[in-house]
Amino acid sequence: MRFSWIAISALLAFSGCSQKGAFDLFKMDEAHERAVEQLRSDSIVLSLETKAIFSSLYLNKMDPVQYKDGEYFIVSVYFEKDNRTIKVRELETNGYELSLNGKKATTIEPLDEKDPRRSLMPIQNNWNRYYFIRFDSVRETSLALQLENNQTGKVVLSYQK
């Protein structure tokens, strides 16, 4: 009986202590919330080894006024470090091809560290390569952004317009 009273007293004492939850410490502005909502990530794995990690951000949903004459993405790619024959770790030099619903990109622009568009991507680190990608407009409502390499495999990230 004494244990019951101690447990009930402790429960009542601790139940009303906090007005805030842990998630109140992680406030995001509206642009960052939209970016996290549009972020997709996946990886290419071959023989239990990660060959590439592919993340993308669909910009048309984030800012429909600015990005309306095509399909726009910011893409982050990590390539394996074990391949010493590759001097520059870029999409083309690694043999990767990027497509949206089977069509190639019209513009692939590498983003350097100081480019303000890079800050839109919620994932920020020094070992990823970042690109601003533009595709011609797609009529379909579902989008399949694909990164493929004939030797290591492919990854598809899906979006809805």
pLDDT in tens, 90-146: 666 667 889 999 999 999 999 988 898 888 888 888 888 899 999 999 999 999 999
Strand order in the sheet with 97-100: 103-104, 97-100, 142-149, 153-160
pLDDT in tens, 29-42: 666 677 777 889 89
Burial class (CB in 10 A: 0-12, 13-18, 19+), 76: buried
- Single pTM value for the model: 0.74
Percent of the chain topping pLDDT 70: 72
Can you list the domains of the chain with their CATH numbers? 38-160 (2.60.40)
